[in-house]
Amino acid sequence: MAASENPVSVENKFEDLSGIEIAPDENPYDALIHACGGCPAKIQSLYTAHRTARNAQQRDKFLASEFSELAIDPVLLRLENPDMEPGFKDHRNCLVFWARPPSHIVELAAHVQVLLQRAAPSLWLMPSHRMHLTTLEVAHSRTAAEIASLVSCIRPAIPDLTGLPYKSRARLVKPLVSYDLSAIALSFVPASGEEVRSPPPVPPHPENIAHPGLPDGSTAESDRYTYHHLRRDAFKTAGATGVAIGSRYVVPSAHITLGRYLTQRDHATPELRARWIQAIDDVNQWLETEVWEVSDGRFIGEWIVGQERGLDARCGTLWYGGGRTIMVGEGF
C-alpha cells in the first residue's frame, strides 16, 4: 500500500471536540474560560472531554472495516529517507513559544515511547531533547524572510512572553496517550486541586516558596490560573505587538508529540491495528493506575509549566523539534 502524501489529512483534522464556540476577533482562549466561569474543575473537564472524544473518534477510524491507510507525513518521510529525493529540504518556517518538559516528564514520555514501539517497531520517535508543548504558535509554514520580519516585530515582547510561567504557575496533570492516523502524543489536562507531586524548585531559588513550584502553597487558589489562562495570556501579550497570530488550532489540548508513522507496515492488517489500539489502551490504563495518583512510584505525571526553564521562543524549520532558540525564560 502506498504511503499517503497528505501531511494533514482532511479526515484527520484537529477539530475542537469540547463543544466550545469561539466568536470572531476575540482572544480564542477566553471563550472556554468564560464558558467555565474560570473554574479549574470545569476547564479540566472540557480538556478531558476533548481528548476522550478524539481518542474514541480515532479508535473508530483505526478499527473501521473501510480503513485505507495511515496519514504519513511526506516531508518527514523524505527527511528520514534522503534517498527518496536527494537534496530535499523542509522550507516551512515557523515562530512559536514552547513549554519544554522538565526532566521527570521527559523520563515518563521516553518510557511511554518504549512501550508503544513494542507494538509498532517502525514508529518515528521524537528525540527526547526535542520534546515540547506548543503554548503559542504565532506563525507557521512561512518563508525564512517572513519569519525574520515577525521576530523583529514581536521581539520587544519576547522577555515578557518567555517569563510568563515564572510569574504565574500553571499545573498539568493526568497524562494519557492521545493518537490519530498520523501521530501519537502524551496529553495532559489542567490541574484542579490534585495533590502536588512535582520535585521542588532547582536551587538556588528563593526560600519563600511554600510548596514546590507554587507561590502560595494552596492548590485551591493557585490552580485557578490554569494552562488555558497561560495560553490566553501568551496570545494577548503577543497580539499586543500588532502581529497577527496565525495558530493552526486553539483546541483544549496540552500535548507533546511522541512519534509519527512513517510506514503502513505495523498497521497493515485489522489484527495489527487492533493490537496497536490495545497497546495504547494498556499504556493508558497503566498511566491512570500507576502514575496519576501515585506519590512513591518511579514516574511523576505532574508538570508545573516553567519547571527548569521558562517558555522557549523559537523560530525556523521546527515541525519536528528543530529550529533555533531566540530566548528562554527563567525557570524554577
Q: Which residues contact 275 (CB under 8 A, 6 or more apart)?
A: 119
- The pLDDT, as a whole number, for residue 220 is 78
SS (H, E, C) 180-207: CCCEEEEEEEECCCCCCCCCCCCCCCCC
Tell me which H or E stretch contains 139. strand 133-142
pLDDT over 80 (residue 208): no
Mean pLDDT, to the nearest integer, of 319-329?
96
Smallest Cα–Cα separation from 215: which of 252, 259, 249, 169?
169
- The pLDDT, as a whole number, for residue 215 is 57
Q: Give the DSSP letter of residue 128.
A: G
- The pLDDT, as a whole number, for residue 295 is 84
pLDDT digits (tens, 9 = 90+) for 158-207: 999 999 999 999 999 999 999 999 999 999 999 999 999 988 877 776 65
pLDDT over 60 (residue 39): yes
pLDDT over 50 (residue 4): no
Residue 321 near residue 259, CB atoms below 8 Å: no
pLDDT over 60 (residue 212): no
- The pLDDT, as a whole number, for residue 296 is 86
- The pLDDT, as a whole number, for residue 24 is 61
Mean pLDDT, to the nearest integer, of 272-284?
98
DSSP states along 223-246: TTS-HHHHHHHHHHHHHTTTPPP-
Q: Is 332 exposed, middle or buried (0-12, 13-18, 19+ CB in 10 A)?
A: buried
pLDDT digits (tens, 9 = 90+) for 91-123: 999 999 999 999 999 999 999 999 999 999 999
* Segments making up each domain of the chain, as ranges: 26-328
Mean pLDDT, to the nearest integer, of 241-265?
94
What end-to-end distance do the CA atoms of the chain give, in Å? 49
Q: Which set of grid coordinates corresponds to residue 236?
A: 494577548
CATH number for the domain formed by residue range(s) 26-328: 3.90.1140.10
Q: Which set of grid coordinates corresponds to residue 135?
A: 503554548
Residue 163's alpha-carbon distances to 129, 168, 313, in angstroms, are: 21, 9, 10
Q: Give the DSSP letter of residue 156.
A: G
